[in-house]
Amino acid sequence: MERIIYREIPANRGVWQLAILLGAFIAAAAGAVLFIEHHGHIVTGMNNQIVWGLPHVFAIFLIVAASGALNVASIASVFGKTPYKPLARLSALLALALLAGGLAVLVLDLGRPDRLIVAMTKYNFRSIFAWNIYLYTGFFAVVGVYLAVQMTRNVSASLVHAAGTLAFIWRLALTTGTGSIFGWLVARSAYDAAIMAPLFIVMSFALGLAVFVLVVTGVCRLTGRPFGPKLLTRLGSLLGVFVAALLYFTAVQHLSNLYVAEHAGIERFILRDGGIFTNLFWVGQILIGGIIPMIMVFHPTGRFKPASTIIASVLVIIGGLAQLYVIVIGGQAFPLEIFPGYESSSSFFDGVINVYKPSYLEFALGIGGVALSLMITGLGLKTLRILPRSLSDANVNL
């Protein structure tokens, strides 16, 4: 086993080409923000019924993935798994970058980003959104300290373990807060469920690890650094476990709702009568994002092929986006029950399935958030010693 030596990534031709591409996506997102700010949200697909659109899907995806991207560092520092220690720095950096990208999309989609100052200075602690401001800012501080501790020479193992434990607990709290935004929103029958918090935690495990696998393998390929196939297989097996857990919690969510009479309508809508939402649930979320990736990473022969883990990671990300689209958009598309237990009528969309068609502006904003996260990660890798020169199987002590 060679000594682990961390080095900055070189600015070769492939890195520059990727940086230019990411810069173009970020510029397109900035243009979309300015256009929406000038003309108003009427130019998007959002309306009075669908107030959280495609940008929120991307923002929540990035925030949830940020928590999960810290998995590798937590496994190394908190649970003492040696093979993951060379990847811990990148894990922490990617977590910070993903959260920054997700919050950027969230703030820029508010319509009035300057109103964030009010949210930061006047707190309503009966609102889960106020709690999340502390969770998000605290995540930056805690994970930033955790990354600094890892990069400090001659630091004691106990200090790294303590910082990693705090970061692990904080990331669980952050994802609990994100899931509780939906779980505590009792006005929507698709959201009102205590299972949403643990569902989002397990979702973060799967999505964060999938993003991490693609980033670390992509960076190693761009910079010519070896990445051991056995290490990749280990990551793929872990990804399969997280995907299986996500499918389990998804089944519990829908079986619980089917058991409760007041949620029967939304379950019929999502599982059978929802059109695009039903297709996204069964095909996008369950099949593409769940069953196929598990087969690929657990198959006796396919699991040892590096391509299996990489393709499975791509499919898990597609499935995660489909799941969040169903939760966020599908939950709003179903008619709102304003007075539960009572009959009410009006001429304003009573009992009507709400229609939403995302515009290219929303897509540009969402992709821009992803590009921003990757750009921050790339800048960190270029300026800091985050990634080892070699991640071969012999070098990570498998």
Is the predicted pLDDT of residue 1 greater than 50, yes or no?
no
The answer to whether residue 395 is domain-embedded is no
Compute the distance between CA of residue 6 and CA of residue 387 in angstroms, rounded to an integer: 5
- Please give the structure tokens belonging to residue 125: 């602690």
pLDDT of 223-276, one tens digit each?
999 999 999 999 999 999 999 999 999 999 999 988 887 788 899 999 998 899
- How high is the mean pLDDT of the chain? 90
Is the predicted pLDDT of residue 65 greater than 50, yes or no?
yes
The answer to whether residue 129 is domain-embedded is yes
pLDDT value for 353: 83
**Listed range (34-38, 113-117, 158-162, 313-317) with the worst mean pLDDT:** 113-117
Share of the chain above pLDDT 70, in %: 95
pLDDT value for 347: 65
Question: CB of 315 within 8 A of CB of 239?
Answer: no
Compute the distance between CA of residue 41 and CA of residue 113 in angstroms, rounded to an integer: 13
Confidence of residue 125 (pLDDT cuts 50, 70, 90): confident
Ranges of H-type helices in the chain: 13-39, 54-69, 71-77, 88-108, 116-121, 128-151, 157-183, 196-223, 229-259, 264-268, 276-279, 292-298, 306-325, 331-333, 360-383
Share of the chain above pLDDT 90, in %: 67
**Listed range (34-38, 90-94, 316-320) with the worst mean pLDDT:** 34-38
Compute the distance between CA of residue 67 and CA of residue 87 in angstroms, rounded to an integer: 16
Mean local confidence (pLDDT), 2-22? 90
CATH number at 378 reads 1.20.1630.10
Confidence of residue 109 (pLDDT cuts 50, 70, 90): confident
The answer to whether residue 139 is domain-embedded is yes
The answer to whether residue 288 is domain-embedded is yes
pLDDT value for 82: 84
Mean local confidence (pLDDT), 18-33? 96
**Total tally of structural domains belonging to the chain:** 1
pLDDT value for 124: 78
Is the predicted pLDDT of residue 2 greater than 70, yes or no?
no
Within 8 A by CB and 6+ apart from 382, the residues are 8, 9, 11, 15
Compute the distance between CA of residue 350 and CA of residue 10 in angstroms, rounded to an integer: 59
Instruction: Give residue 116's Cα distance to chain centre.
Output: 22
pTM (global) more than 0.85: yes
The answer to whether residue 30 is domain-embedded is yes
pLDDT value for 346: 66
Mean local confidence (pLDDT), 56-82? 93
Is the predicted pLDDT of residue 292 greater than 50, yes or no?
yes
The residue among 109 and 94 whose pLDDT is bigger is 94
**Which residue segment(s) compose the domain that 132 sits in?**
6-388
Confidence of residue 186 (pLDDT cuts 50, 70, 90): confident
The answer to whether residue 396 is domain-embedded is no
The answer to whether residue 18 is domain-embedded is yes
Is the predicted pLDDT of residue 153 greater than 90, yes or no?
no
- Please give the structure tokens belonging to residue 193: 């469920």
The answer to whether residue 206 is domain-embedded is yes
pLDDT of 325-371, one tens digit each?
999 999 999 887 766 666 666 666 666 788 899 999 999 999 999 99
3-state secondary structure 34-83: HHHHHHCHHHCCCCCCCCCCHHHHHHHHHHHHHHHHCHHHHHHHCCCCHH
Instruction: Choose the most confident range, by mean pLDDT, from 153-162, 187-196, 208-217.
Output: 208-217
